[in-house]
Structure 1
Amino acid sequence: MHQRWTKCSSLIALAAALGTAATAQDAASFLTDPHLNVVPRTAAEAARIAAVTAATTDFTAAQKFEENAAGAATVRPRTDADAFSQPSGNISFEDQLDFRVGNGLFRKIWVSSPSSTLASDGLGPLFNARSCQRCHIKDGRGHPPETADDTSISMFLRISVPAIFTSTDADALGQIEGYIATLPDPVYGSQLQDFAVQGHTAEARMDIRYDEEVITLADGATVSLRHPTYSATDLGYGPLHRDAMLSPRVAPQMIGLGLLEAISTADILANADPDDADGDGISGRPNIVWSQVHDQPMLGRFGLKAGSPTVLEQSAAAFSGDIGISNPIFTAPAGECTILQTDCRAAIHGDGDDRLYEIDQVGLDLVTFYSRNLGVPARRRVDDPQVLLGKQVFYQTGCTACHTPSFVTQRLVDRPEQSFQLIWPYTDMLLHDMGPALADNRPEARATGREWRTPPLWGIGLTQQVSGHSYFLHDGRARSLLEAILWHGGEAAPQRNKVIELPTHERDALLAYLESL
């Protein structure tokens, strides 16, 4: 019951912290940035930031500094698959060593216990990958299977069931407006592992069936969208819970994470409009999650539904859930193995030596440092007339309502690479209802089954170069940027419809603009 009780107690703590008067906006108003060592902004700095991040109306030339997507941390664009694997452009010579060591740990192939390689044992027993790099190949995007027997995929199925609490607990959770409590599947945990070490049984295999839908654009061009249906087969531990909710997840690109982490929570919440008070049809909401490290509610920033507050906690959760590696934050030596998977929990693991955990705090911090400092490539073709026209279309069709172009990060004492940078990530970091077609119908904290965090767009034009494919969205169903746009529904349906009605040259310009990011 440890896994279920940990989740339950965190939910109750979150409810208690938010208090009985916590509406959607009130609950967010007290959120702080305990993960950042901040130097407060002066009034003059705040005024400069407001001016430099104001929406532009001039599309005759690129904006000042627009080419430097990550400010001083921007890196020179490369023409090979390593474009996402460079350290921040402003990293010190000394810190490059930590970056390289973190990269080594990110790429490390973990092995099962017992092993003579004590620093690398502890894999699984159940796992989705043997290394971080195995999913985030070249630090880029994962992809769904190309064929029925494709083993190079980098996606998995999350799983949860509706939570059942006592009446008192339910009352406490009811204090969080919009919060939908779920728990891991009692047998399979919170994600399905499709691999196991020798002598153990993998949990399941993911099957996908696609049905094509043809969309006709205003100029007569047609685009085919593939509708996926997911199922879990070859279940190794009996049937799933009757109310199990499955959600496919493709590994996202890794660039710029430290900069997204360094944006002020207040700046992100300033764009939230949960009740659509301005009447523009866009209702961005923050996800609020419990931080295991800081023991308090925090703004969710990372993951496809913004379910994790920091790069550190996201990294630690991936070590535990994806690879089965214990760490100081998620300490279970058997990773995702549940109490009903007795052989899995009883297996020999890699804890107990000088590391204490299968990856210790030093190793986890190095991987986190590496993940924070993967550089964002500079924009290409920023002054190209077609790209400038595409930028105008992007703005005038309303895409910036969710894909906020720019922020200025906090001034930080101990993270010079991310400190006080003008960045262009094209995300508001908020949750949006994307309609029934993209819904996974699986809640996560305050995110409903129809909501997703706005993904950053920086680097999106280099996907083919880095990852060898052009698959987009949370499950890779879109095979091109145009398909990804046409999948937008819910709050983004008006913007999608405007794109459908565009004349050919404007649609081509929009795609050229996205390819330049």
Structure 2
Amino acid sequence: MLLIQKRLNFNFNSLGKIIFAKSLVAIFATGLFAVNSEGKYFSNDNNKSLLLKPIKKLNDEEYDQFILGRSFFTIPWVEAPSATTARDGLGPLFNANTCVSCHPRNGRGILFNSKGNTARSLVVRLSIPSNGSLLHETKKEKMGFVPEPTYGAQISINGVHGVPFEAKPKVEFEEVSVVFPDGEKDTILKPKYTLIENNYGEFDKNTSYTFRMAPSLHGLGLLEDISNEDILANQDINDKNNDGISGKANMVYSPLTKRIELGKYTWKASSATILEQSAGAAHNDMGLTSSLIQVENCTDSQKLCNEAPKPRDKNDITDLRLGAMAYYIRNLKAYKPKETKSFKEGLEIFEEVSCSKCHITNIKTKSGLNIAPYTDLLLHDMGNDLSDGRSEFKANKNEWRTAPLWGLALHEKITGKKPRLLHDGRARDFQEVILWHGGEASGAKNAYMSLAKEKREKLIKFLERL
């Protein structure tokens, strides 16, 4: 039992329900990574359904748990009260009624829907500076930021019957011309964000708004199996080697362990585990409470939201169901491209221009599996042009977790569209991503721009295959 708790980084007593631990003992007893076999976790099959498949060699009980998690991930939740008691509790304020609404086929979200409006995959997070009060400092300690007092932590574009939605996001772009040393020109898009139809009045004048795309769920279980020690080994907070890169870990409060833990997930690495990230997304995106987040996503001033009907259970998602959802995400198949001659040539250029200093190309999991997620899971200063004005725990306004690049080759298969990249989807292709890099990544960007056009094209093709 102690081994299982250690593997999951669980403090079951903090959940308050011993039945959760008992129900999952049999499922996790064999361990997610009991077999060190690359073929168990990866496939070279580049198709739209790959991220829906489980890893190989799940036994019957494990497969049942995978299917249970998938059902709560894909079948719509409904508002309470409802005869569908297993899935009631949606809202009162929410963005979507299923997880797959933001993560199509478990891939990266889309920026615009078929009508040309901003899609549900793009969420708006809100925060204000702390005023130094005990309330604000407690919020910073436990949440990493202080929510906006009227609208809360995230804008909800939908509400259940009788509860007005909060607002709608709108994105417009300004074209910015970029000239390469060899004379080539490209155009990148500078976003202008606004919120319209604000149904709850004015925002605090000091509000920071950050627009964020739903990331792919690709390989999250493998990332969770990387040891903290191996992640921290790549830190260079004071840039002792003078290479201009000073990655640091985000240390965050864990509602599971009630301690400060190393953050791995979200755009600023502000969540420590898949379970916690799942609970956070369920609460912010669908208005679902759990033992980890027991309050409704209504602020004190949202009277109709607070008075909306409640489900019969204390929490909308039981520990067993939340655990099943995390288990499903943790056991999804991952993609690995074939290492052809052109792939290896692109990788050499990737390393030549120092992209691999942050998007590291090899790391070993605790189970001994060598993986290439193309991330160090650390925070890096990306410059003022990518700043969102928002801090989360140890991540400052300019800092972002190195985005994993693996699995993005699946996106066009999944959605029929090229992926919109960076945290807010502003970049239409990988070259635009590179041209937005600043801060610690300025050297890599300049090195890329100075390459011969042929080598630039080889690098972009390499990135498109990941």
TM over 0.5: yes
Q: Distance in 2 between matches of 1:168 and 1:152?
A: 34
Please give the secondary structure, in 1, of the residue aligned with 2:236: coil
Matched residues in 2 for 1:257 and 1:482: separation?
26
Residues 315 and 285 (structure 1 numbering): CA distance in 2 closer, same or farther, change over 3 Å? same
Local SS of the residue matching 1:227 = strand
Quote the residue 1:338 is aligned against: 299
CA positional deviation for 1:169: 9.1
Residue 147 of structure 1 deviates from its aligned partner by 7.7
Task: Compute the displacement of 1:173 (Å).
Answer: 11
d(CA) in 1 for partners of 2:144, 2:219 = 31
Which residues of 2 match residues 409-488 of structure 1 at below 5 A?
Answer: 409-410=365-366, 419-469=367-417, 470-488=419-437
Equivalent position amino acid for 1:400 in 2: S
Q: Offset at 1:223?
A: 1.8
* Structure 2 residue aligned with 1:401: 357
Are the structure 2 counterparts of residues 35 and 290 from structure 1 closer, same or farther at C-alpha, using a change threshold of 3 Å? Answer: farther
Aligned position for 2:103: 136
Q: State percent identity of aligned pairs.
A: 35
Partner SS for 1:162: coil
Distance 1:440 1:82, change over 3 A: same
Matches of 1:423 and 1:319, distance apart in 2: 29
| Aligned-pair CA distance for 1:373 | 1.1
- The 1:151–1:282 alpha-carbon spacing in structure 2 relative to 1, beyond 3 Å, is closer
Query: SS of 1:98's equivalent?
Result: helix
Task: Name the CA distance, whole Å, in 1 between partners of 2:51 and 2:144.
Answer: 36
Mapped partners of 2:416, 2:6: distance in 1: 35
1:408 and 1:422 in contact (8 A); partners too: yes
Q: Is the 8 A contact 1:74 1:378 kept in 2?
A: no
Q: How does 1:179-258 map to 2 (within 5 A)?
A: 182-258=145-221
The equivalent of 2:322 in structure 1 is: 364
2:130 aligned with 1:163, yes or no? yes
Kindly provide the amino acid, as one letter, of the partner of residue 383 in structure 1.
T
**CA distance in 2 between partners of 1:180 and 1:259 (Å):** 25
Q: How does 1:7-22 map to 2 (within 5 A)?
A: none
Question: 2:212 aligns to what SS in structure 1?
Answer: strand
Aligned counterparts of 1:197 and 1:311: Cα–Cα separation in 2? 28
Deviates more, 1:336-345 or 1:299-308: 336-345
Which residue of 1 is the match for residue 308 of structure 2? 347
Which secondary structure does the structure 1 equivalent of 2:334 belong to?
coil
Change (3 A) 1:253 1:150: same
After TM superposition, where is structure 1 displaced by more than 6 Å over at least 4 residues in a row?
167-170
**Partner residue of 2:62 out of 80, 95, 102:** 95
C-alpha RMSD of the superposition: 2.5
Query: 1:310 is matched with which residue: 239, 252, 273?
Result: 273
Aligned residue for 1:248, secondary structure, equals strand
Matched-pair contact (CA < 8 Å) for 1:125–1:200? yes
CA 1:217–1:110 in 2, change beyond 3 Å: closer, same or farther? same
Change (3 A) 1:516 1:74: farther
Query: Which residue in 1 is equivalent to 2:41?
Result: 74
Given the alignment, which residue of 12, 33, 36 partners 2:7? Answer: 36
Question: Does the 8 A contact of 2:111 with 2:118 survive in 1?
Answer: no
Check the 8 A contact 1:102/1:366 in 2, yes or no.
yes
Q: CA deviation at 1:438?
A: 1.0
Q: Which 10-residue stretch deviates more, 151-160 or 278-287? A: 151-160
After TM superposition, give the deviation of residue 343 of structure 1 in Å: 1.6
Q: Corresponding residue for 1:289?
A: 252
Cα displacement string for residues 340-364 of structure 1 (whole angstroms, at most 9, x for unaligned residues):
1122011102143xxx421101110
Three-state SS of the structure 2 residue aligned to 1:36 is helix
> Among residues 440, 445, 456, which one is paired with 1:507 in the alignment?
456
The unaligned stretches of length 5 or more in structure 1 are 1-32, 39-68, 411-418
Cα distance between partner residues in 2 of 1:259 and 1:450: 27
* CA deviations over 1:353-388 (Å, ceiling 9, x no partner): xxx4211011101100011111111212x122x222
Q: Deviations over 1:74-133 (max 9, x none)?
A: 332334311222212353454222112211110020111121211121110100111111
Alpha-carbon offset, residue 248 of structure 1: 0.6
Q: Which amino acid aligns with 2:132?
A: F
Change (3 A) 1:427 1:181: closer
Cα shift at 1:309? 0.4
SS at match of 1:183: coil
The one of the two structures with greater contact order (alpha-carbon pairs below 8 A, sep at least 6) is 1
- Whole-angstrom CA distance in 2 between matches of 1:331 and 1:316: 10
**CA apart distance, 1:217:** 2.6
Deviation at 1:34, TM superposition (A): 7.6
* Residues 35, 310 of structure 1: 8 Å contact kept: no
| Contact 2:139 2:145 (C-alpha < 8 Å) held by counterparts | no
Measured against aligned partners, the alpha-carbon deviations of 1:413-458 in whole angstroms (never above 9, x if no partner) come to: xxxxxx3322111110000010111111111111111100001111
CA contact (8 A) 1:288 1:446 kept: yes
The range that moved more, 300-309 or 505-514, is 505-514
Query: Alignment partner for residue 104 of structure 1, among 59, 71, 74?
Result: 71
